[in-house]
């Protein structure tokens, strides 16, 4: 397949078959550009930028930084990968798409809906389109729509998550799709990344561990909470988004909410305050109540992005040796 050849060309520029996952209100210029400069695909949601003009500015700044790195090292850097929210509720979709078409990114991830409306213009601009899917039926539809690759959102991913076991999901999709597969959910180190390849994946997301890096724009309290938490502290709930979402239970408690008695599905709406009893302002999802995935158990410190990637490279290499490195 043509897209496999193209992906193989990109893979030659990577130190790891890894994407620093696009994370709402977490992935910024520093995290993305540093990841790319260190051989990992740097992704970010376009809605992290307040306006399409700001998105244009972000891309120009990231491109300039990476050009300087490439010139200084004489080596190609990893690609930057914008993430388009294609759901009809995203009023900026067409404007953000227009910005991407001007910048001609090598990779684009689509989320929360069918990629069909954006595939042709992105292909015309030379982009590989990876569609974020959470079920086998969604995967089938994305392939029918012309997606080049699939991001399989599996149980344990941070934020809005899938429910399928990653082993079952990947093998089911591999039965009808030979193109690029990206595993999203539970990748906490290089050993897990190596296992994802054995399972049949071309790439994987790492999200939660990148939240707790110095370059992340996440709140410092958020980063510290990740260090202090484990997978046992991840709460799966539909209260904040209307969809199953992995949230940090300690942040729910800190917000004055009872994790065992959360409101009905989607009752805590974005951009609104919740009154419980007295008229006190209630925290908002994402900004005050934080998400994380099962990989939280692997977060033990707050390193630089470069240090995290170097550590993961070492784990990945050792895991590929005959004796393995899973202990």
Judge if 197 and 68 occupy the same domain: yes
Q: Residue 152 forms beta bridges with which residues?
A: 133, 183
Asked whether residue 222 is domain-assigned, the answer is: no
- 158's CB contacts (< 8 A; 6+ apart) are 21, 23, 207, 208, 211, 246, 291, 292, 293, 295
Report the pLDDT value the prediction gives residue 268, as an integer from 0 to 100.
59
134: domain CATH number is 3.20.20.70
The span from the CA of 115 to the CA of 244, in Å, is 21
pLDDT tens profile 287-318: 788 999 999 999 999 999 999 999 999 999 99
Here the tokens at position 216 are 């992340």
Task: Rank 271-275, 281-285, 295-299 by mean pLDDT and report only the highest.
Answer: 295-299
Query: Rounded to the nearest 10 degrees, what angle do helices 166-174 and 190-199 cross at?
Result: 40
Q: Do 100 and 236 fall within a single domain?
A: no
Tell me, what DSSP letter sits at residue 276?
A: B
Q: Are 17 and 39 in contact (CB under 8 A)?
A: no
Are 265 and 248 contained in the same domain?
yes
Range of the domain at 253: 230-291
Residues 198 and 52 in one domain: yes
Q: Does residue 166 lie within any of the structural domains?
A: yes
**Mean confidence (pLDDT) of the chain:** 90
Is 225 domain-assigned?
no
Q: What is the Cα–Cα distance from 78 to 306, expressed in whole angstroms? A: 13
Residue 274: band (very low, low, confident or very high) from pLDDT cuts 50, 70, 90? very low
| Comparison of pLDDT for 263 and 266, the residue scoring more | 263
pLDDT computed for residue 281 by the predictor: 43
pLDDT of amino acid 266: 67
Q: Are residues 304 and 161 in the same domain?
A: yes
The Cα 167–Cα 295 span in angstroms is 16
Question: Using CA atoms, how far apart are residues 226 and 291, in angstroms rounded to an integer?
Answer: 10
Q: How many domains does the chain have?
A: 2
- The number of beta carbons lying within 10 Å of the beta carbon of residue 142 is 26
The verdict on 245 and 207 lying in the same domain is no
CA angle 179, 157, 20 (to 5 degrees): 65
Query: Residue 289 pairs with which residues in a beta bridge?
Result: 285
Same-domain check for residues 58 and 129: yes
* Alpha carbon distance 37, 79 (integer Å): 9
What is the pLDDT, as a whole number, of residue 179?
A: 94
282 and 145, same domain (yes or no): no
Same-domain pairing of 200 and 142: yes
Tell me, yes or no, whether 224 lies in a domain. no
Same domain, 275 and 149: no
- The predicted pLDDT at position 264 comes to 74
- First-to-last CA distance in the chain? 37
Report how far apart, in Å, the C-alpha atoms of 140 and of each of 36, 114, 212 are.
30, 11, 34
- For residue 244, being part of any structural domain is answered with yes
- Per residue in 202-253, pLDDT (tens digit) is 999 999 999 999 999 999 999 999 999 999 999 999 888 888 899 999 999 9
In 36-135, beta strands by DSSP E? 41-45, 80-85, 107-111, 128-133
Mean pLDDT, range 51-75, rounded to an integer: 97
Query: Is residue 325 situated within a structural domain?
Result: no
Nearest to 194 by CA among 35, 6, 17, 39: 17
Structure tokens at 35: 């990841």
For residues 237 and 166, state if they share a domain: no
Tokens 């597969």 correspond to 181
Judgement on whether residues 207 and 252 belong to the same structural domain of the protein: no
Which pLDDT band, with edges at 50, 70 and 90, does 324 fall under? low
Query: Has residue 133 been placed in a domain?
Result: yes
Residue 21 has pLDDT above 70, yes or no: yes
């Amino acid at each position: 397949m043509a897209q496999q050849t193209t992906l193989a060309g990109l893979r030659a520029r990577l130190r790891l078959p890894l994407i620093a996952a696009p994370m709402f209100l977490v992935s910024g210029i520093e995290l993305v550009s540093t990841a790319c400069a260190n051989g990992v695909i740097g992704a970010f949601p376009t809605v992290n930028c307040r306006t399409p003009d700001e998105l244009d500015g972000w891309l120009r700044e990231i491109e300039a930084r990476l050009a300087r790195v490439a010139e200084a090292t004489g080596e190609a850097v990893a690609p930057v990968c914008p993430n388009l929210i294609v759901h009809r509720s995203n009023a900026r979709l067409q404007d953000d798409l227009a910005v991407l078409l001007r910048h001609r990114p090598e990779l684009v991830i689509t989320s929360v809906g069918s990629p069909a409306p954006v595939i042709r213009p992105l292909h015309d601009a030379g982009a590989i389109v990876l569609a974020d899917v959470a079920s086998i039926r969604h995967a089938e539809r994305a392939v029918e729509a012309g997606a080049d690759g699939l991001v399989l959102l599996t149980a344990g991913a941070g934020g809005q998550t899938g429910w399928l076991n990653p082993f079952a999901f990947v093998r089911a999709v591999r039965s009808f799709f030979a193109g690029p597969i990206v595993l999203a959910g539970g990748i906490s180190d290089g050993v897990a990344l190596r296992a994802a390849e054995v399972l049949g994946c071309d790439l994987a997301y790492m999200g939660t561990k990148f939240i707790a890096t110095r370059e992340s724009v996440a709140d410092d309290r958020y980063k510290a909470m990740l260090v202090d938490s484990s997978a046992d502290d991840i709460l799966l709930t539909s209260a904040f988004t209307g969809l199953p979402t992995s949230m940090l239970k300690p942040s729910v408690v800190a917000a004055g909410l009872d994790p065992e008695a959360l409101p009905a599905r989607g009752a805590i709406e974005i951009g609104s305050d919740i009154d419980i009893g007295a008229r006190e302002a209630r925290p908002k999802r994402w900004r005050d109540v934080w998400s994380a995935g099962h990989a939280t158990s692997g977060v033990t410190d707050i390193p630089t992005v470069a240090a995290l990637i170097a550590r993961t490279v070492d784990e990945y290499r050792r895991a590929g040796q005959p004796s393995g490195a899973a202990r």
